[in-house]
Amino acid sequence: MSEIDATTPVIDPAEIRLAAMNLLARREHSVWELRRKLRTRFPDDTLLDEQLSRLAEQNLQSDMRFAESYIRQRIYRGYGPVRLREELRERGISRTDIAQLMDELAIDWRAHALQVMQHKFGGLPPRDLKEEARRARFMQHRGFTAEHFKHSKED
C-alpha cells in the first residue's frame, strides 16, 4: 500500500445513509439539496450518488414529495407561481415535474394575490402612483404576474 492510500479516509456507505436520513428526518429534501449538503462531508461523488439513488428507490427520498411540501409552505407564506417555479428549479427539480405539480394545483392565483395584497397593504387603495409602483414591485418580487395583482386591485 502506498502512503497516499493509508492516509485517505475510507468512507462507509452507512455513514452517508445515516447523514442523509438525519437530514430527511427534519424535512423533505431534493436530491440536489442532499448532494450539496453531504458533499462537504463525503467527497466521493460515486458513493454519494449510489446512496442517494438507494434512498430514492426505497421511497425514503422523493423530489416530488419535496416539491409538494415546498409549494404548500411557500403558498402559505404568500408566494406566487413565478417565484415558486424559479425556486424549485434552483433546488434541482426538473421543469417537467414543476409543470406537472403546478398544473395539479387547484389555486386561484388572482384570489391568492388579492389575499397577499390585503395582508401586506390592508384594504386601502394606493395613495398615488409611487405607492402603486411600490406595491407592484412587492407583488412581482413575491412571484405574481401583473395580471394577478392588477386584477386584485380592481375588485
Query: Do residues 82 and 69 both lie within one domain?
Result: yes
pLDDT digits (tens, 9 = 90+) for 20-70: 999 999 999 999 999 999 999 999 999 999 999 999 999 999 999 999 999
Q: What angle do CA 37, 41, 42 make, to 5 degrees?
A: 100
Q: Are residues 134 and 101 in the same domain?
A: no
* Shared domain check, 53 and 16: yes
pLDDT number for residue 21: 96
pLDDT at 147: 93
The amino acid sitting at 98 is: I
For the chain, the residue count is: 155
Residue 79 in this model has a pLDDT that exceeds 60: yes
Q: Is residue 47 part of a domain?
A: yes
H-state helical runs in the chain: 3-7, 13-26, 31-39, 45-57, 63-76, 81-90, 95-104, 109-121, 129-142, 146-154
pLDDT band at 128 (very low <50, low <70, confident <90, very high): very high
pLDDT of residue 10: 78
Contact 31, 66 (CB under 8 A): no
The answer to whether residue 137 sits within a structural domain is: yes
Q: Is residue 4 part of a domain?
A: no
- Are residues 86 and 125 located together in one domain of the fold? no
The least confident of 11-15, 29-33, 109-113, 126-130 is: 11-15
> How many domains are there within the chain?
3
Handedness of CA 153, 147, 133, 73 (dihedral sign): positive
The answer to the question of residue 7 being in a domain is: no
Same domain, 120 and 137: yes
Whichever domain contains 82, its CATH number is 1.10.10
pLDDT tens per residue, range 101-123: 999 998 999 999 999 999 999 98
Q: Which residue has the cell 403558498?
A: 75
For residue 107, give every residue at least 6 positions away whose Cβ sits within 8 Å of its Cβ, in sequence order, or none: 75
Q: Could you tell me the residue range of the domain that residue 150 belongs to? A: 109-154
Is 32 among the domain residues?
yes
Say whether both 57 and 18 belong to one domain.
yes
Closest listed residue to residue 67, CA positions, set 29, 37, 33: 29
1 within a domain of the structure (yes/no): no
Task: Write the DSSP symbol of residue 65.
Answer: H
